[in-house]
Amino acid sequence: MNLTKEQWWSQLQEDENAVIVDVRTEDEFNRGFIPGAKNIDIYKGQGFIYEVEELDKTKNYYVYCQAGMRSAKACSVMNELGFATTHNLLGGMSEWDGPVEVQ
């Protein structure tokens, strides 16, 4: 499901079953990420699939990238793999004005 930053953040705040996934590259992630995010680079191809398969499919996933395209693809892949709930952050980090951490 595609959500605006306001919808994404408010749902995340109220979701006790939430997991945040950043699908950008490690370099992008290290420049700043949403607190609590797990970095799984979608550009790793099969490596991305392997890492995602290790996740708990009963959780609710809040996924983002830089602009919203890679995370939309990641949500689609995760849904195909049996994940029930994925939320894509429209606009990604390029439009994010919420909290950010830096490695």
Read off the pLDDT of residues 9-36 as tens digits, 9 standing for 90 and up: 999 999 999 999 999 999 999 999 999 9
Q: What is the tally of structural domains in the chain?
A: 1
pTM of this prediction? 0.97
What pLDDT shows up at residue 24? 98
103 lies in a domain? no
82 lies in a domain? yes
CATH number, domain at 11?
A: 3.40.250.10
Over residues 30-73, the pLDDT tens digits come to 999 999 999 999 999 999 999 999 999 999 999 999 999 999 99
Q: Are 52 and 23 in contact (CB under 8 A)?
A: no
102 lies in a domain? no
| 103: confidence class by pLDDT, cuts 50, 70, 90 | confident
Question: Catalytic positions, please?
Answer: 65
Average pLDDT over residues 79-84: 96
What range does the domain containing 36 cover?
2-95
89 lies in a domain? yes
23 lies in a domain? yes
Closest among 96, 95, 83 to 40, alpha carbons compared: 83
